[in-house]
């Protein structure tokens, strides 16, 4: 029997080597599994929706969803659908959410602008014809967000928490808003609103909200709330311009709503308020000079002091050439055998000068 290789052995060896090489290459590179379906980005449910009424405007606030229902971050643009239901006054709304109907839609472009700071603020202004029709009715309001997939298919979040509220006949603007600058505050005064939006007498006013301009065009921030028709803004600086608005706050049962904001009142406070007069002045003659000492002024904007002297019936004159920075002064321009009378004033950084201190006399002998 011959020892020569049989026909086909070399071919089988080649196929075996090729198969082994392919297997090793696949092990090294990894085997690609079956294609995965595209990810569905269904936004998580909004859970912190609030709605506040200010005049004829309803302002919705909520946190924009950042995650999808699968726990992963949302990457697609979101739209918002606002839903609403209206019920006559006194009629209890049904427990079912089926009564909620689409009201408004916020486009992906507008929502992206609103959600830049995550917290969305969306005002809805009712027209003058709409408000009388809905006044006094119970509103149910909710939102849901959505993304769009293949061929525009919508993937909606679950419905948000539902806000129940009554559209109240809130007061018109307060009257005669005035602002006056004092040394330590900008003081605001106003008169209560005369009537409500419906024209009926205003009622149910429980407090007033005070707003101050933020420096951004048309932007105001609430700085306080008071049951009185006066308010003191102590957080101010002289030389800065401030603009204020005030709105009446109406409360009916557990419902609270804000009336119309007043026209703005503007002021640029100027420091025209002199410091208090120095106290504790003491004068003594020693070593051919009069030594003066007084109590340091507690004024926060104190710049220094002036020292005044008179002799007999002669006019009073200032004896210091430069402002005195400390409550000590040495007057060397005196002559022996005379009687002098001294007073001291305080000056602030705005160059306001106080009334003089009590007068003290000294004899140079």
Kindly give, in sequence order, each residue whose CB lies less than 8 Å from that of residue 259, ignoring residues fewer than 6 positions away.
54, 55, 170, 171, 172, 173, 174, 193, 196, 197, 202, 205, 247, 248, 249, 250
Higher pLDDT, 137 or 31: 137
The pLDDT of residue 68 is 95
- State residue 241's pLDDT score: 94
Q: What is the pLDDT, as a whole number, of residue 32?
A: 62
Tell me, what's the pLDDT at 194? Answer: 92
Average pLDDT over residues 243-266: 94
Could you give the CA distance from residue 314 to residue 295 in angstroms, rounded to a whole number? 27
* pLDDT-based confidence at residue 2 (cuts at 50, 70, 90): very low
28-32, 206-210, 322-326: lowest mean pLDDT where? 28-32
SS3 state of residue 132: helix
Q: Please, what is the average pLDDT of the chain?
A: 89
Neighbours of 24 (CB within 10 A): 10
pTM of the model: 0.77
Contact 67, 74 (CB under 8 A): yes
Scored b (16 or more CB within 10 A) or e, 86-124 reads ebeeeeebeeeeeebeebeebeeeebeeebeeeebebee
Residue with token string 């004829």: 56
Residue 95: what are its φ and ψ, rounded to 5°? -70, -25
Give the CA distances from residue 264 to residues 65, 116, 212, in Å, rounded to whole numbers and listed in that order: 36, 29, 9
Domains defined for the chain, CATH in brackets = 50-166 (2.60.40), 175-267 (2.60.40.10), 282-363 (2.60.40.10)
Is residue 243 within 8 A of residue 264, CB to CB? The reply is yes
Please write the tens of the pLDDT for every residue from 91-134: 777 767 788 999 999 999 999 999 888 999 999 999 988 999 99
Query: Tokens for 123?
Result: 């005002």
Query: In the predicted model, is pLDDT for residue 1 greater than 50?
Result: no
Count, in order, helices (H) and strands (E) of the chain.
Answer: 3, 23
169 and 251 in contact (C-beta within 8 Å)? Answer: no
The tens digit of pLDDT for each residue in 24-60 reads 444 455 556 666 667 789 999 999 999 999 999 999 9
pLDDT at 18: 45
Percent of the chain surpassing pLDDT 90? 77
């Amino acid at each position: 029997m011959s020892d020569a290789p049989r026909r086909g052995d070399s071919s089988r060896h080649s196929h075996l080597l090729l198969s082994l090489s392919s297997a090793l290459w696949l092990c090294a590179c990894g085997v690609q599994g079956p294609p995965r379906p595209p990810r569905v980005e269904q936004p998580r449910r909004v859970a912190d929706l609030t709605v506040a009424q200010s005049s004829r405007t309803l302002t919705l606030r909520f946190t924009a969803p950042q995650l999808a229902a699968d726990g992963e971050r949302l990457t697609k643009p979101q739209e918002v659908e606002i839903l609403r239901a209206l019920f006559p006054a006194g009629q209890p709304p049904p427990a079912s959410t089926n009564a909620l109907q689409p009201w408004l839609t916020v486009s992906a472009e507008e929502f992206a602008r609103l959600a830049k700071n995550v917290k969305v603020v969306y005002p809805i202004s009712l027209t003058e014809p709409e408000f009388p029709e809905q006044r006094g009715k119970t509103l149910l309001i909710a939102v849901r967000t959505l993304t769009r997939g293949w061929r525009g298919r919508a993937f909606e979040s679950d419905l948000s928490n539902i806000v129940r509220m009554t559209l109240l006949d809130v007061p018109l603007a307060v009257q005669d808003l005035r602002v006056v600058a004092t040394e330590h505050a900008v003081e605001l005064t106003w008169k209560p609103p005369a009537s409500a939006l419906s024209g009926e007498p205003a009622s149910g006013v429980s407090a007033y909200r005070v707003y101050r301009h933020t420096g951004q065009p048309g932007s105001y921030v609430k700085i306080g709330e008071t049951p009185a028709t006066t308010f003191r803004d102590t957080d101010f600086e002289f030389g800065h311009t401030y603009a204020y608005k005030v709105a009446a706050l109406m409360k009916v049962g557990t419902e609270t709503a804000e009336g119309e904001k007043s026209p703005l009142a503007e002021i640029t406070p100027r420091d025209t308020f002199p410091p208090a007069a120095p106290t504790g002045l003491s004068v003594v003659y020693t070593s051919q000079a009069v030594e003066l000492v007084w109590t340091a002024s507690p004024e926060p904007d104190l710049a220094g002091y002036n020292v005044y002297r008179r002799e007999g019936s002669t006019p009073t004159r200032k004896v210091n050439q430069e402002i005195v920075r400390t409550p000590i002064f040495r007057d060397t321009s005196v002559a022996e055998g005379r009687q002098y009378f001294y007073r001291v004033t305080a000056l602030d950084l705005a160059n306001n000068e106080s009334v003089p201190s009590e007068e003290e006399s000294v004899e140079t002998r």
